[in-house]
Structure 1
Amino acid sequence: MTELQIELGDANSKEATYLMRELSEKLTCITGDSGEGSFNTNDLNGEQAIFAICRYNGEPIGCGALRPITETTAELKRMYSRKNSIGVGSRLLSFLEQEAQKMNFSTIRLETRRVNTKAVQFYEGKGYGRISNYGKYIGRSEAVCFEKVL
């Protein structure tokens, strides 16, 4: 039987670097921007920051990260799945939400591009509501921001 496994990992590992490179390439095709300017692995150096890798039969096929914005709000970054049809994104998001709760975050925020309709639909389907753009996304019409209270 094949299984998805999710574990905390190192965002600087070869596997993580490869997954995030794939994500950047896909985002460039979809949005015209790799998204790399909004995330640096140094953002994950604190105690309340994590990086997760999803594996399918041992092969790394997805990733996601959380970093703190405030004491109670985390930001979801670098969510990626190679295999959408087997629930990788849903499992990763659920895992990261649970980890956020363990770290006493009560809210998760994220940003994606409006043109990335697949991501917009995914987050809306997982209970994330649209909010006013925050932080570096304020005034950027191409960006759409979401929030979920855990």
Structure 2
Amino acid sequence: MHISLESPNQPDVVQLIDDLDAYQKPLYPPECHYGIDIAALSAPGVLFAVARDAQGNAVGCGAIVVGPAFGELKRMFVRPENRGQGIAAKLLAFLESQAQATGCTSFMLETGPSQPEALAFYASAGYERRGPFGAYAPDPFSVFMHKTPA
């Protein structure tokens, strides 16, 4: 497996994002979807990483939107058939490292209560629950988390 910063505007990566949307949309009301699109993922200040298998197939992706106060994790996804191989942990560590290299010292994320695997994964990676941050409002369909690396 290889992880690198890449453009999100590639057919196989767009398919990953579409698959993530197809998974999440049935779980939450439309007004509770906070995913960002390909244009936003391509914006300055966004670190977008892709995990590829030995054949070069995109099997996972994620982004950190680096802001002045914190970096927000967005669009983390590993294909179901590739889960359980440590890809998400390596992808997250890569993104955090890249963001720290830009001076980012704190990470935030929003996910949902209908994704217990994601909640357990982020907790195991050192993320703790917190209240809303940034422009988010309290939402029963959102779980907010943060991490300040040592």
Provide TM-score, normalisation by structure 2: 0.88
Q: Which residue of 2 aligns with 1:65?
A: 63
Rounded Cα–Cα distance in structure 2 between residues aligned with 1:139 and 1:32:
15
Counterpart of 1:74 in structure 2 is: 71
Alpha-carbon distance in 2 for matches of 1:31, 1:86? 27
1:61-140 mapped onto 2 (5 Å cutoff):
61-68=59-66, 70-82=67-79, 83-140=82-139
Task: Structure 2: state its 5+ residue gaps.
Answer: none
Q: Secondary structure at the match of 2:114?
A: coil
CA–CA separation in structure 2 for the residues paired with 1:73 and 1:137 = 14
In structure 2, the CA distance between the partners of 1:16 and 1:118, relative to structure 1 (3 Å rule), is same
Partner residue in 2 for 1:40:
37
Aligned residues: 145
Letter of the 1:115 counterpart: S
Identity %: 28
Q: TM-score, normalised by structure 1?
A: 0.88
Which residue pairs with 1:17 in the alignment? 14
Distance 1:120 1:101 in 2: 23
Provide the rounded CA distance (Å) in 1 between the counterparts of 2:110 and 2:34. 13
Indicate the RMSD between aligned Cα atoms, in angstroms: 1.9
* Structure with the higher strand share, 1 or 2: 1
Q: Contact 1:5–1:54 (CA<8 Å) still a contact in 2? A: yes
In the TM superposition, residue 124 of structure 1 has moved relative to its aligned partner by 0.5
CA deviations on 1:59-80 (whole Å, 9 max, x unpaired) are 1100001112x31411000000
Q: Give the conservation status (yes or no) of the 8 Å contact 1:107–1:149.
A: yes
Letter in 2 for 1:130: R
User: How far apart are the structure 2 equivalents of 1:30 and 1:118?
Assistant: 14
What SS does structure 2 have at the residue aligned with 1:86? coil
Aligned letter for 1:17?
A: V
